[in-house]
Structure 1
Amino acid sequence: MSNPTRLGQLDLNLLTLFDALLREQSVTRAAEAVGVTQSAVSHALNRLRDFFDDPLFVKAPEGMVPTRKAEALKPAVVDIVAAIRQRILSEAAFDPATSHRIFTLCMTDMGELVFLPPLLNQFRALAPRCRVRTLQVPSEQIEGLLSSGEADLALGSIRTAPEGLYRQRLFMHLLVTIVSARNRQVGEQLTLQQFEQMPHVAVSLAGRPGDAYDSALEEQGIKRTIFLATPHFLTVPLLLEQQPDLIATVPLELANVFQRYGTVRVVQPPVELAPYALNQHWHPRFHHDPAVVWIRELVKKTFEGYPDHAARKGEAQLRQDVRR
Structure 2
Amino acid sequence: MSLKRVDLNLFRVFDAIMLTGSVSGASRELGVTASAVSHALARLRLAVGDDLFIYGDDGMVPTARARELAPMVRDGLGRLDEAISATPFSPCQAVRTFRVAASEYSSSIILPGLVQRIAELAPQLELRIFPYSRIDVVQHLDEGRLDLVIGWFSELPERIHRSPLLKDKEALVARRGHPLEGSAVTRERLFSYPFVVVELTGSGDQSADGFLDERGVWRRVWIDRLLMEADEDDAAVAHIAVSLPHYASVADILSRTDMVATLPERFARRLVEAGHHVMLSLPHAPQEAVVEAIWHQRGNRDAGLKWLLKHLEDVAGLED
TM bin (shorter chain)? 0.7 to 0.9
Which aligned pairs between 1:151-166 and structure 2 lie closer than 5 A?
151-162=146-157, 164-166=159-161
- Number of aligned pairs? 294
The SS at the match of 2:146 is coil
| 1:124 corresponding residue in structure 2 | 119
Mapping of residues 33-182 of structure 1, within 5 Å: 34=29, 36-37=30-31, 40-50=33-43, 52=45, 60=56, 62-66=57-61, 71-85=64-78, 87-91=79-83, 92=85, 93-138=88-133, 141-162=136-157, 164-181=159-176
Which residue number corresponds to residue 214 of structure 1?
A: 223
8 A contact 1:97–1:128 mirrored in 2: yes
Tell me if structure 2 keeps the 8 A contact 1:139–1:158: no
- The yes-or-no answer on 1:240 pairing with 2:254 is yes
For residues 213-252 of structure 1, the C-alpha deviation after alignment (integer angstroms, 9 at most, x for no partner) is: 223334555653323332212232233234x122111112
Q: Is the 8 A contact 1:287 1:293 kept in 2?
A: yes
Q: Distance in 2 between matches of 1:47 and 1:164?
A: 31
Structure 1 stretches of 5 or more lacking a match?
308-324
Using a 3 Å threshold, how does the CA distance of structure 1 residues 200 and 299 change in structure 2: closer, same or farther? Answer: same
More strand by share: 2
Report the alpha carbon displacement of residue 289 of structure 1 after superposing the two structures with TM.
1.9
- Verify the 8 A CA contact 1:58 1:65 in the aligned structure 2: yes
- 1:140 is displaced (CA, Å) by 7.7
Greater Cα shift, 110-119 or 46-55:
46-55
Q: What is the CA-CA distance between 1:122 and the residue it aligns to?
A: 0.6
Q: Do the aligned partners of 1:109 and 1:233 also contact (CA within 8 Å) in 2?
A: yes
Give the corresponding residue for 2:268.
255
**Paired residues of 2:225 and 2:286 also in contact (CA < 8 A):** yes
In 1: Cα distance, 2:315 partner to 2:299 partner: 21
Q: How many percent of aligned residue pairs carry the same amino acid?
A: 20
1:82-124 deviation line (CA, Å, top 9, x unaligned): 2221x23345432222112111222101111221100100111
Confirm or deny: 8 A CA contact 2:171 2:279 kept in the other structure: yes
Q: Is 1:289 equivalent to 2:315 in the alignment?
A: no
The superposition leaves residues 190-235 of structure 1 with CA deviations (integer Å, 9 ceiling, x where unpaired) of: 6122322222122222334743422333455565332333221223
For residue 274 of structure 1, report the CA deviation from its aligned partner: 4.8
Q: 1:20 to 1:267 in 2, by over 3 A?
A: farther
* Residue 17 (structure 2) aligns with: 21
Cα deviation, 1:143-199, whole Å, max 9, x if unaligned, reads: 222222222222122245445532222222132111134x53232246122322222
- Whether 1:186 and 2:173 are equivalent positions in the alignment is no
AA at the equivalent of 1:187: E
Q: Quick one: which amino acid aligns to residue 286 of structure 1? A: G
Secondary structure class of the residue paired with 1:197 = coil
Against the structure 1 CA distance between its residues 45 and 260, is the aligned structure 2 distance closer, same or farther, given a 3 Å change threshold?
farther
User: Alpha carbons of 1:83 and 1:191: their partners in 2 closer, same or farther (altered >3 Å)?
Assistant: same
Secondary structure at 2:127 match in 1: strand
Q: Is residue 299 from structure 1 mapped to residue 312 from structure 2 by the alignment?
A: yes
**Whole-Å separation in 2 of the counterparts to 1:163 and 1:234:** 34
SS of residue paired to 2:307: helix
Match of 1:265 in 2: 278
Any conservation in 2 of the 1:175–1:250 contact (CA below 8 Å)? yes
Deviates more, 1:152-161 or 1:135-144: 135-144
Q: Write the distance in 1 (CA, Å) between the matches of 2:36 and 2:55.
A: 16
| Paired position in structure 2 for 1:312 | none
Q: Which one-letter code corresponds to 1:191 in the other structure?
A: V
Counterpart for residue 195 of structure 1: 190
CA deviations on 1:300-322 (whole Å, 9 max, x unpaired) are: 11122133xxxxxxxxxxxxxxx
- Partner letter of residue 231 of structure 1? P
